[in-house]
Structure 1
Amino acid sequence: MHALSIAWDPSKGLDLGIFTLHYYSVMWIIAFVLGLQIMKRIYKKENQSDAALDSLFIYAVIGIMLGARLGHVLFYQRELISEDFFSIFLPFKFKGGFEFTGFMGLASHGAAIAMIISMYIYNKKVLHKTVLWILDRVVIPVASGAVFVRVGNFINSEIIGKPTGTDYGVVFKQLGEDFARHPAQLYEAGSYIFVFLALWYFYWKTEKSEQEGFLFGLFLVLLWSIRFVVEFFKEPQGDEYLTIGTLNTGQLLSIPFVLIGLYFMFAHKPKAKTA
C-alpha cells in the first residue's frame, strides 16, 4: 500500500439475521425518499395535489427499477434470459443455489428510457398536462438520486475504474487486488451533484422552467456527457454488445441521449395550444 492510495474494504451491508440489507439497496431507498421530498416541494409550487404526487412516486419507482434491470440484462448480461430468467425480475438468484441478492445489475440507460415511458403513462392517466412538463421537473430528483446510486456502486466495489498505473487511486480489497484503480463511481457521483445543482438553479432561479423541454434537455446533455467521459476510466461492465473503435457500449448508448437533449434545449418548439 502506498500513501497516495486508499484501501477500500467495507462490509456489504447490515446483517438483519434473516438477510443482509446491502448498502447499495439502502442508497436506492435514500434516492427515492429524497426524490419524493424534492418533488413534494416542486408540486407544492406548481399547485399539484398530494394524490398526484403519490401516483408519481409509484410510477417512478416501478418504471425506473424495472427499466434499469431490463437495461442491464439486454445491454450487458443477456445470458440471464436463458440461464436464470426469474432473477431478472426478483431480488434473488437461483442459479448455483438460492440467494437473496437485493438490487443488483441495474443499467442507467435502461432506467432513463423507462423513466420517459413511465412518465408518459403517468401524464396520460393522472396529470393530463404534457409529458415534457413532468419530465422537466422529475429530472431534478433523478439527478440527485443518481449521486446515491453511484455511491452505492462504490460501496459494492462494482463498476470499477481502470488501473491508474500510479500510486494514486483506490485499492478494491474485496476484489483481491493490491493495485490502485480510478474511483470512477465517485467521479460520476461528484459530477452528478453538479447536474442536480444546475437543474435546481435553472428551475427555481430562472424562467427556464417555462421553456418546455429545456430542463429535460439540459439533464440529458449534462448527465450523459459526464457518463461518456467517465467511461474512458471504467472497466467493461459485462459483455460489450456495442462497440465502435475505442467507444464502448455505455458511450455509444449515451450519444443519442445527448443529441436528444440538445434538440429539446435549442430546437424544440411546443405545439400551439388549441382552444
Structure 2
Amino acid sequence: MEFLAFIHWNVDPEIFSLGPLSVRWYGLLFAIGFLGGYYQGERMFKFENIKLEWLESLFIYLIVATIIGARLGHVFFYGWDYYSQHPGEILKVWHGGLASHGGALGIIVALILWSRNVSKRPVIWIMDRVVVPTALVAALIRTGNLMNSEIYGIQTNLPWGIIFERNGETVPKHPTQIYEALSYLLTFGVMLYTYWKTDLRNRQGFIVGVFFVMIFLARFLIEFIKEDQEAFESGMVLNMGQWLSIPFILGGIYLIVRALKRPPVIYKN
C-alpha cells in the first residue's frame, strides 16, 4: 500500500500582496532567520560581556554581505553566460537567484572587514560565534526554497517524495530542500551545545570548523540526488555545488585540528 500516494505540493510562494508590493514566504523566512540570529548573537554577547553596539554593526555587515555575496555567487558560479549578456538583471534579486556558497564567501569578507574596523580581534574569533545562528538562517532559507518549489531533487519512489505541481511536475521528486534544512538544524544544535555546554568555544576555529564540515559535507552528499541547477552541469562528474563545497570541507577539517592543537584563548573585556 502506498503511503500517502506521495505528497502533492502546490503552495503559493506569495502570502499576500498590497498593491505592487507582495510578501513572500521566502522573504519572510529569510527575515525570521536574521531576527533569530540576532537574538542568539545577543545572548552570546551578553554571556561574554561583549559590547552590544558591536552586535548592531555586525548585524548590518552580515545582512549586506549575505545578500550581495549570495547574488554574485549565483551570477558568477551558475549564470555568467546569461548575466554577462544582461548585466542589468544582476541587481534584480527579487527575480530569484542566490547561491549559498557566494553568501558564505560574502560573510567571510564582511567579518574580515568588521574585525579590522570594529572589534580589532582575529576574524576567527567572531566567525566562531557568527556561524552558530548562521546554520539556523540557512535552514530557514532552504524552507523558503521549499515554499518556492525550487532546488529539489531527482525522481524518487520513496513515500515522502513530493510532486511539485506548481512547476508542472507529474512525478515525485526528492525534497532536497527538506534534507538540507534538517541537516542545517542538526548542525545548529551541535554548535549550540558546543558553545554553551563545553569550553571548546575558547579554542579558536573549532566551532567554525565544525560548521564548515557539517554544512558543506551535507551539501556535497545531497547534491548527488539534486537536479542540476544549470544546463552546463549535466556532463560534470561533480556538479558546481559539490566542487565549491570541497574547499570548505577541507578548510573545516584543518580548523578543527588546528584548534585542538592550540591552547584556548579567553579575551578580557
TM-score normalised by structure 2 residue count:
0.91
Q: CA deviation at 1:39?
A: 0.5
CA pair 167-136 structure 1, distance change in 2 beyond 3 A? closer
Tell me which of 220, 224, 230 is aligned to 1:228: 220
Structure 2: how far apart are the matches of 1:243 and 1:206? 45
Match of 2:63 in 1: 61
Match of 2:230 in 1: 238
* 3-state SS, counterpart of residue 229 of structure 2: coil
Structure 1: how far apart are the matches of 2:232 and 2:146? 21
Match of 2:184 in 1: 192
Q: Give, as a single letter, the amino acid of the residue that structure 2 aligns with 1:117.
A: V
Match of 1:248 in 2: 239
1:158 equivalent in alignment to 2:150: yes
Which sections of structure 2, spanning at least 5 residues, go unmatched? none
Does structure 1 retain, via aligned residues, the 8 Å contact 2:41–2:130?
Answer: yes
CA pair 271-123 structure 1, distance change in 2 beyond 3 A? farther
Match of 1:6 in 2: 7
Q: CA deviation at 1:177?
A: 1.6
Match of 1:45 in 2: 47
Does structure 1 retain, via aligned residues, the 8 Å contact 2:202–2:264?
Answer: no
Structure 1 residues 251-260 or 19-28, which shifts more?
Answer: 19-28
* 3-state SS, counterpart of residue 21 of structure 1: strand
- In the TM superposition, what whole-angstrom CA distance separates every residue of 1:7-47 from its partner, at most 9, and x where no partner exists? 10011212222222221111111111111111011111121
* 3-state SS, counterpart of residue 109 of structure 2: helix
Does structure 2 retain, via aligned residues, the 8 Å contact 1:241–1:249?
Answer: yes
Q: CA deviation at 1:105?
A: 0.6
Does structure 2 retain, via aligned residues, the 8 Å contact 1:80–1:88?
Answer: no
Q: Give, as a single letter, the amino acid of the residue that structure 2 aligns with 1:5.
A: F
Tell me which of 101, 112, 116 is aligned to 1:124: 116
Does structure 2 retain, via aligned residues, the 8 Å contact 1:56–1:122?
Answer: yes
Q: Percent identity?
A: 38
Richer in helix (by share): 2
Q: Which residues in structure 2 correspond to 1:17-166 (within 5 Å)?
A: 17-91=19-93, 101=94, 104-165=96-157
Does structure 1 retain, via aligned residues, the 8 Å contact 2:212–2:248?
Answer: yes
Does structure 1 retain, via aligned residues, the 8 Å contact 2:54–2:118?
Answer: yes
Match of 1:94 in 2: none
Structure 1: how far apart are the matches of 2:56 and 2:236? 43
* 3-state SS, counterpart of residue 7 of structure 1: strand
Which sections of structure 1, spanning at least 5 residues, go unmatched? 92-100
* Structure 1 ranges of 4+ moved more than 4 A: 165-168, 241-244, 268-273
* 3-state SS, counterpart of residue 188 of structure 1: helix
- In the TM superposition, what whole-angstrom CA distance separates every residue of 1:85-143 from its partner, at most 9, and x where no partner exists? 2331244xxxxxxxxx36x2110111111111100100100111110000000000100
Does structure 2 retain, via aligned residues, the 8 Å contact 1:203–1:209?
Answer: yes
Does structure 2 retain, via aligned residues, the 8 Å contact 1:171–1:180?
Answer: yes
